[in-house]
Amino acid sequence: MNSPAPGGVRVEVRGLRRSYEGQAVLQGLDFEVEAGEIFVVMGPSGSGKTVLLKHLIGLERPDAGEIRIGGRSIDTPDFMEQCRLAMVFQSGALLNSLTVAENVGLYLTEHRLKPPGEIAEIVRGKLAQVGLEGQENRYPAELSGGMKKRVAIARALVIEPQLMLYDEPTSELDPQMAVVIGEEICNLNRRIGVTSIVVSHDRDMAFGIADRIAVMHEGQIRTMGTPAEVRGCRDPLIADFLSASFKNIRKESAL
Amino acid sequence: MFHSLGEMLVLFGRALRALPLSWRHRRKIFEQLFEIGNASLLMACVLSLFIGAVLALQTGPILAERGLASYIGRMVGISMCKELAPVMMSILIAGRIGSAMAAEIGSMAVYQEIDALRTMNIDPVHYLVLPRVAAISLALPVLVIFAILTGWVGGAVVSSLNPDIGVSFKAFFNDLRSIVGFQEIVNGLAKSFVFAVIIGVVSCHQGFQTMGGPRGIGRSVTKAVVNSIVLILILDYYLTRFLMYFES
Ligand SMILES: Nc1ncnc2c1ncn2[C@@H]1O[C@H](COP(=O)(O)OP(=O)(O)OP(=O)(O)O)[C@@H](O)[C@H]1O
Ligand SMILES: [Mg+2]
**pLDDT mean across residues, chain A:** 90
Q: What is the pLDDT of residue A1?
A: 40
CB contact under 8 A, B121 and A111: yes
* Alpha-carbon dihedral angle through residues A235, A241, A246, A249, given to the nearest 10 degrees: 60
Q: Which of A51, A54, A201 to mutate to test the pocket of ligand 1 (most atoms within 8 A of CB)?
A: A51
CB contact under 8 A, A91 and B111: yes
Of A85, A95, A97, the CB nearest to B119: A85
Q: How confident is the model at residue A208 (pLDDT cuts 50, 70, 90)?
A: very high
Q: How far is the CA of A48 from the centre of ligand 2 (A)?
A: 7
Query: Residue A172: inside a domain, yes or no?
Result: no
Query: Residue A71: inside a domain, yes or no?
Result: yes
Domain ranges of chain B: 2-244
Q: What is the pLDDT of residue A158?
A: 93
* Protein residues near ligand 2, an ion, with CB under 5 A: A 50, 90
CB contact under 8 A, A159 and B127: no
Dihedrals phi, psi of B224, to nearest 5 degrees: -60, -45
Q: Which residues contact A145 (CB under 8 A, 6 or more apart)?
A: A92, A172
- For A60-204, strand residue ranges (E) read 64-69, 72-73, 85-88, 163-167, 195-199
Any idea which ligand is nearest the CA of A49?
A: 1
Q: Tell me whether B35 touches chain A (CB under 8 Å).
A: no
d(CA A68, CA A58): 11
Q: Which of A42, A49, A88 to mutate to test the pocket of ligand 1 (most atoms within 8 A of CB)?
A: A49
Among protein residues, the one whose CA lies closest to atom 6 of ligand 1: A20
Query: Residue A5: inside a domain, yes or no?
Result: yes
Among protein residues, the one whose CA lies closest to atom 29 of ligand 1: A46
Q: What is the pLDDT of residue A242?
A: 86
Residue numbers in B near A107 (CB within 8 A): 120, 122
d(CA A250, CA B115): 43
Query: Residue A39: inside a domain, yes or no?
Result: yes
Q: How far is the CA of A51 from the centre of ligand 1 (A)?
A: 6
pLDDT per residue of chain B (248 residues) written in tens, 0 to 9? 788 888 889 988 998 888 888 888 888 899 899 989 888 999 999 999 999 999 999 999 999 889 888 899 999 999 999 999 999 999 999 999 999 999 999 999 999 999 999 999 999 999 999 999 999 999 999 999 999 999 999 999 999 998 888 889 999 999 999 988 898 999 999 999 999 999 999 999 999 999 988 899 999 999 999 999 999 999 999 999 998 887 76
Among protein residues, the one whose CA lies closest to atom 4 of ligand 1: A20
A6: domain CATH number?
Answer: 3.40.50.300
d(CA B165, CA B237): 31
DSSP assignment string, A98-137: S-HHHHHHHHHHHTT-S-HHHHHHHHHHHHHHTT-TT-TT
User: How many domains are there within chain A?
Assistant: 1
Q: What is the pLDDT of residue A2?
A: 42
Cα dihedral B6, B9, B11, B17 sign: negative
Q: How far is the CA of A47 from the centre of ligand 1 (A)?
A: 7
Residues 159-198 of A with CB under 8 A from B: 159
Of B24, B111, B119, the CB nearest to A57: B119
How many beta-carbon contacts under 8 Å exist across A and B? 45
The SS3 call for residue A42 is strand
Long-range pairs for B34-41: beta carbons < 8 A, 24 or more residues apart:
B35/B97, B35/B100, B36/B93, B36/B97, B36/B135, B36/B136, B36/B139, B36/B140, B36/B143, B37/B139, B37/B142, B37/B143, B39/B96, B39/B97, B39/B100, B40/B92, B40/B93, B40/B96, B40/B97, B40/B139, B40/B143, B41/B143, B41/B146
Q: Tell me whether B115 touches chain A (CB under 8 Å).
A: yes
Q: Could you tell me which of B75, B107, B70 has the C-alpha nearest to residue B216?
A: B107
* Domain carrying residue A18: 1-84+201-255
* Alpha-carbon dihedral angle through residues B117, A113, A3, B132, given to the nearest 10 degrees: -30
d(CA B141, CA A175): 57
A233 sits in which H/E element: none
d(CA A108, CA B128): 17
Ligand 1 atom at shortest distance from the alpha carbon of A47: 21
Q: How confident is the model at residue A3 (pLDDT cuts 50, 70, 90)?
A: very low
d(CA B124, CA A75): 19
Q: Residue A19 above 70 pLDDT?
A: yes
Q: Tell me whether A64 touches chain B (CB under 8 Å).
A: no
Q: How far is the CA of A39 from the centre of ligand 1 (A)?
A: 20
CB A202 within 8 A of CB A42: no
Across the range A25-35, mean pLDDT stands at 93
Alpha helices, DSSP H only, in chain B? Answer: 2-17, 26-65, 72-79, 85-93, 99-110, 113-119, 124, 130-161, 169-179, 182-209, 213-247
Q: Residue A6 above 80 pLDDT?
A: no
Residues 86-105 of B with CB under 8 A from A: 104
